[in-house]
Structure 1
Amino acid sequence: MTTTAPHAAIPKPQQAGKQPRSVRVVLLALMIAMLLAMLDNMIIGTAMPTIVGELGGLEHLSWVVTAYTLTTAASTPIWGKLGDLYGRKGIFLVSIVVFVLGSVLSGMAQDMGQLIGFRAVQGLGAGGLMVGVMAIIGDLIPPRERGKYQGMMAGVMALAMIGGPLAGGAITDHLGWRWSFYINVPLGALALFMITTVLHLPKKERTGKGKIDYLGAALLTVGITAIVLFTTWGGTEYAWGSGQILGLAALGLASVAGFLYVETKAAEPIIPLHIFRNRNFTLMSVIGFIVGFVMFGAVLYLPLFQQSVQGASATNSGLLLLPMLLSMMVVSLLVGRVTTNTGKYRMFPIAGGALITAGLVLLAQMDTGTSRLTSGIYMAVLGAGMGFLMQITMLVAQNSVEPKDMGVASSSTTLFRTLGSSFGVSVMGALFTARVTDSMVAQGGSTGGMPQGAALDAASLEKLPAALREMYQFAVATGTHGAFLLGAGVAVVALVAAFFVKEVELKGAGPQKKDGSAPDTAVQKDAVAAQA
């Protein structure tokens, strides 16, 4: 490989003047693609009761979500590597086509088995959407300048979390549940058109000469599948000590061990292990895992607490998270601006780790007497912490690798966050269910005829006798206390890890000089230094 190859994906200095308009147009297309992946589960979650009512198969309900999650997680690192090998744009367009195809097929499903299979296809495409967005942004915009656009990404996430449930309810009520899937077609078509016409990335030579790491890809897929099923089924479908769960744990560990060995021998490894020699990259992977663990646990149990204990309506479940999401978006925007202007970022992971820990400790103090205003303030603290961390983890991870590894760096960071969310929902869910059940038994000697760990909405609670309702509300408050306290303990690890982050100069140009000229770019120099 020639010495100039690593520079192929880096915009030349003279292109800097073209960035403001062209980059914004490209980013709009990328944000639409990101919205596709993030909005889907939020919309489908609201439509699921109607889907089950028409298709039946209630016993297979969890697989509608699990199939999507499995294929998304398993395909994420493979999409990233394919982008590095064959070119980012073409692989990204393929992922959009696969996602839209899976959406159309899901909307046409005639029974639960078909829906599960088509959701797996949809998840396969979704695995490439997030990785493609992050890697293309990494190619187009130097890390120093990338902070300007962090607010857009945080805004898309907030829009998906708030608007998803509301849109899902409206679409299901007025157009039918099948349109919860068909809505992806016009959005996907728009993203395809815009990316095809306005995205122009420098062509790059393939470095792998056709040697795809099939064995590594297979082992990684098996390992991720086993791990996700372990966390999804443990304590719900099967007991934690059951043969099925222990078997999945053993299969997952053996597959990961085999994968790590194969990667040391492969000519073009799916995940080059040398990227983990960089301390900052490894720390960002750890912090990203914890962000996923905490965020998805909070998104799951905060609305549950407010619906069950504070009597909020399930229809507005997305709005209940508004204090957390707005705080996250505002802080993420400010962090991006400061990073671009100063080039400094080490203080942000530390502040994020501290605020996430503090926010979860505060949320753990909520009880049946906590007002919505108080819980909103606690959520804002947690959201601020996530705002410090959400984009900075990807930014520092991408800044820690050579341009040729941009895809695998983006996919690895995304994978760790996905696995963190899977573990977070599972572990916090197991603790929540156990605490709710124990509390109900301790108060009344039984669960009162209710399902163990049942999550009742405000309307269902109103039908219960006052004494039983109060018992259940107290039990839910006890369960959320334990779940958030566990999350706080995990968040401490992120705080400790943040102190070991090294301040490495961000590649790319800084603010414009006083005489109006463009600053001296350090991109090419840093790329060469990264290889030394």
Structure 2
Amino acid sequence: MTTTVDAPAPVEQQGGMSHRQILEALSGMLLAMFVAMLSSTVVSNALPTIITDLRGSQSQYTWVITATLLASTASTPVWGKLADLFSKKLLIQLSIVIFIAGSMLAGLSQSVETLIAWRVLQGLGLGGLQALVQIAMAAMISPRERGRYSGLLGGVMAVATVGGPLLGGLLVDTSWLGWRWCFYVGVPFAAVALVLLQRTLHLPVTKRDVHIDYLGVAFLAAAVSSLLIWVTLAGNTFAWSSTESALFLAGGGLSVIAFLVTETRAKEPIVPLRLFRDRTTTLAIIASIAIGVAMFGASVFLGQYLQISRGYSPTAAGLLTVPMVAGLLVSSTASGILISRYGRWKAFLVGGSLAVVVGFGLLSTIDHETPMPLLGVFLFVLGTGIGMTMQNLVLAVQNTVAAQDLGAASSAVAFFRSLGGTVGVSVLGAVLSARVGTLITAGLPAGAASSGSGSVGLADLADAPPAIRELITVSYGDGTGRVFLISGLVAVAAVVAIAFIREVALSGESGEERLRSEAAAKAGEPVLARR
């Protein structure tokens, strides 16, 4: 039998990249993530102005966020599977282009319904960036060394998180620009990211027969959509205990069953069920759901609290979130460096998850008169917890799964984190709407029309007389604490799940090195492991 010996692969494809080469390769990916996070945070802070301008409701406010999260959640496993089959570099570039297209079209929207539709397209690109950057990093860098580079990723996210609201506030407060530029502002950064990726990122391209589980994708999207639509509409459009609720729940349940059956029979399943046989992966996914609620719930409803209840401008609201971003930046960077130095990671996950619970517990006490310095302390605690857990959960999973499943496993963690955020925003939005309606009804004079009950939206704030407007703002301030209380209770699940994760020493091999080692082991060839 004739054996063909391939030419030596470039150093980037050998898993033995130098620190400088890794930084060069990361430059484009980190900028791409910066674009995604910047665009998300810019819009989040501008939403009160956008929805008020377009005369939207509280449910529509929630769905502007949820539409993007839903699309990114449903598409994340697809991107992860594609990364195991196609060029990771090409897929990252494609996700950037999709994200840009969705952002530009969203900026042209003339109604809330149109805006929500284009936010779905934006979410498809966001899902790709969330999954693929983590996957590409795993392919290049060993788990032992990935900690300090994950700290860079956390730092970029922190800068985008603080820069987005500030930039969004500036755009909204500038009369000759306006909120539409919140969707356009990321385009120049995205163009630079595309160029950098083309010049610096060089990873091996997998060439084998491709089998995409389209049926699994359809059932997954149907299951998630049914759940979210039910949570959003129940209690307003129809009763929780009604025929419509039963139909949505039945449809969602059947979609979940169909998805599970499909995944057991698909040749290349979108979410390989064998991943859940691994204890670390299953527990990390449970924790990721809770962290997703923390990430998205805090950012969405915090901006609304500061602007609607406390009366701050979008720019000032962005500045007031700096303590949370500072905590995230410091904790993600420091924990990444320490994990790379000592090779141990569980203590940081436990401490971070506890900080998330404490942070939400403190935030549950806020009302329309909470002092801003005290709020800043609460946000710093929450940010510290999120920074120590978010990236390190992915690291724990990548360290335990087989190299051939790195893409699917990484995207699974990102998927369930997004799912937690998507469901969390929908559920918490419904809770806030109901709570605000109750507080407004209780505050109305006896015999007054119940114009604010049940379906109070931000449109009421723009059109209501001064007395009712003040009642709405106070109710939003007093009702937001309920949202953070529920988030804290959900975060307890993350603490429990992380406590049961078994710590495994970090490997010294990159994803590509592990892939070659596993292939050699299957072929019966001697393997020299690098620790």
TM-score interval w.r.t. the shorter chain? Answer: 0.7 to 0.9
Does residue 31 of the first structure (1) align with residue 24 of the second (2)? Answer: no
Aligned length: 508
Instruction: Tell me: CA distance 1:100–1:240, structure 2 relative to 1, closer, same or farther (3 Å).
Output: same
Preserved CA contact (<8 Å) 2:38 2:186: no
Once the two structures are TM-superposed, the CA of residue 202 in structure 1 deviates from its matched residue by: 2.2
- For residues 453-532 of structure 1, what are the structure 2 equivalents within 5 Å? 464-465=466-467, 469=470, 475-508=475-508
Q: CA offsets, 1:470-525, max 9 Å, x none?
A: x6666445423322222222121111111101011211269xxxxxxxxxx99579
Instruction: Tell me: CA distance 1:462–1:338, structure 2 relative to 1, closer, same or farther (3 Å).
Output: farther
Preserved CA contact (<8 Å) 1:106 1:115: yes
Once the two structures are TM-superposed, the CA of residue 383 in structure 1 deviates from its matched residue by: 1.6
C-alpha separation between the residues in 1 aligned to 2:179 and 2:483?
33
Instruction: Tell me: CA distance 1:199–1:338, structure 2 relative to 1, closer, same or farther (3 Å).
Output: same
Q: CA offsets, 1:396-443, max 9 Å, x none?
A: 122221121111112111111111112222222333333333334445
C-alpha separation between the residues in 2 aligned to 1:527 and 1:26?
25
Preserved CA contact (<8 Å) 2:32 2:190: yes
1:183 to 176, 182, 185: 185
Instruction: Tell me: CA distance 1:384–1:255, structure 2 relative to 1, closer, same or farther (3 Å).
Output: same
Preserved CA contact (<8 Å) 1:364 1:485: yes
Instruction: Tell me: CA distance 1:100–1:496, structure 2 relative to 1, closer, same or farther (3 Å).
Output: same
Identify the residue that residue 451 of structure 1 maps to in structure 2.
Answer: 452
Instruction: Tell me: CA distance 1:369–1:448, structure 2 relative to 1, closer, same or farther (3 Å).
Output: farther
Identify the residue that residue 376 of structure 1 maps to in structure 2.
Answer: 376
Secondary structure of 1:451's partner?
coil
**What are structure 1's unaligned runs of at least 5 residues?**
1-7, 511-520
Identify the residue that residue 94 of structure 1 maps to in structure 2.
Answer: 94
**Residue identity in the other structure for 2:190:** G
C-alpha separation between the residues in 1 aligned to 2:435 and 2:67?
28
Once the two structures are TM-superposed, the CA of residue 385 in structure 1 deviates from its matched residue by: 1.4
Q: Which moved more, 1:59-68 or 1:473-482?
A: 59-68
C-alpha separation between the residues in 1 aligned to 2:425 and 2:472?
21
Secondary structure of 1:86's partner?
coil
Instruction: Tell me: CA distance 1:143–1:263, structure 2 relative to 1, closer, same or farther (3 Å).
Output: same
2:206 to 192, 204, 207: 204
Once the two structures are TM-superposed, the CA of residue 57 in structure 1 deviates from its matched residue by: 8.1
**What are structure 2's unaligned runs of at least 5 residues?**
1-7, 525-531
Identify the residue that residue 529 of structure 2 maps to in structure 1.
Answer: none
Once the two structures are TM-superposed, the CA of residue 319 in structure 1 deviates from its matched residue by: 1.8
Preserved CA contact (<8 Å) 2:367 2:478: yes
Once the two structures are TM-superposed, the CA of residue 117 in structure 1 deviates from its matched residue by: 4.2
- For residues 280-299 of structure 1, what are the structure 2 equivalents within 5 Å? 280-299=280-299
Percent sequence identity over aligned pairs: 38
Q: CA offsets, 1:13-59, max 9 Å, x none?
A: 9764x4311211222211121122222233334556776799x6857
C-alpha separation between the residues in 2 aligned to 1:530 and 1:388?
35
Instruction: Tell me: CA distance 1:450–1:42, structure 2 relative to 1, closer, same or farther (3 Å).
Output: farther
C-alpha separation between the residues in 2 aligned to 1:382 and 1:335?
15
Secondary structure of 1:390's partner?
helix
Q: CA RMSD in A?
A: 3.7
Once the two structures are TM-superposed, the CA of residue 113 in structure 1 deviates from its matched residue by: 6.1
C-alpha separation between the residues in 2 aligned to 1:165 and 1:171?
10
Identify the residue that residue 219 of structure 2 maps to in structure 1.
Answer: 219
C-alpha separation between the residues in 2 aligned to 1:309 and 1:104?
30
Once the two structures are TM-superposed, the CA of residue 236 in structure 1 deviates from its matched residue by: 4.9
C-alpha separation between the residues in 2 aligned to 1:477 and 1:37?
29
- For residues 87-486 of structure 1, what are the structure 2 equivalents within 5 Å? 87-107=87-107, 115-171=115-171, 173=174, 174-175=176-177, 177-206=179-208, 209-307=209-307, 310-444=310-444, 451-452=452-453, 464-465=466-467, 469=470, 475-486=475-486
Q: Which moved more, 1:100-109 or 1:257-266?
A: 100-109
Once the two structures are TM-superposed, the CA of residue 228 in structure 1 deviates from its matched residue by: 3.1
Instruction: Tell me: CA distance 1:429–1:177, structure 2 relative to 1, closer, same or farther (3 Å).
Output: closer
Once the two structures are TM-superposed, the CA of residue 187 in structure 1 deviates from its matched residue by: 2.0
Secondary structure of 1:317's partner?
helix
C-alpha separation between the residues in 1 aligned to 2:34 and 2:239?
36
Secondary structure of 2:329's partner?
helix
Preserved CA contact (<8 Å) 2:14 2:513: no
C-alpha separation between the residues in 1 aligned to 2:393 and 2:10?
21
Preserved CA contact (<8 Å) 2:131 2:410: yes
Instruction: Tell me: CA distance 1:166–1:438, structure 2 relative to 1, closer, same or farther (3 Å).
Output: same
Preserved CA contact (<8 Å) 1:231 1:422: no
Identify the residue that residue 4 of structure 1 maps to in structure 2.
Answer: none
**Residue identity in the other structure for 2:182:** S
- For residues 47-66 of structure 1, what are the structure 2 equivalents within 5 Å? 58=56, 64-66=64-66
**Residue identity in the other structure for 1:451:** G
Once the two structures are TM-superposed, the CA of residue 65 in structure 1 deviates from its matched residue by: 4.4
Q: Which moved more, 1:434-443 or 1:358-367?
A: 434-443
**Residue identity in the other structure for 2:184:** Y
**Residue identity in the other structure for 1:147:** G
Preserved CA contact (<8 Å) 2:106 2:115: yes
Preserved CA contact (<8 Å) 2:289 2:418: yes
**Residue identity in the other structure for 2:433:** T
Instruction: Tell me: CA distance 1:491–1:57, structure 2 relative to 1, closer, same or farther (3 Å).
Output: closer
Preserved CA contact (<8 Å) 1:215 1:262: yes
Relative to the length of structure 1, the TM-score reads 0.84
C-alpha separation between the residues in 1 aligned to 2:236 and 2:332?
36
C-alpha separation between the residues in 2 aligned to 1:401 and 1:244?
41
Relative to the length of structure 2, the TM-score reads 0.84
**Residue identity in the other structure for 2:215:** L
Instruction: Tell me: CA distance 1:308–1:103, structure 2 relative to 1, closer, same or farther (3 Å).
Output: closer
C-alpha separation between the residues in 1 aligned to 2:287 and 2:521?
23
| Higher relative contact order, structure no. (Cα contacts within 8 Å, ≥ 6 residues apart) | 2
Q: Which moved more, 1:256-265 or 1:172-181?
A: 172-181
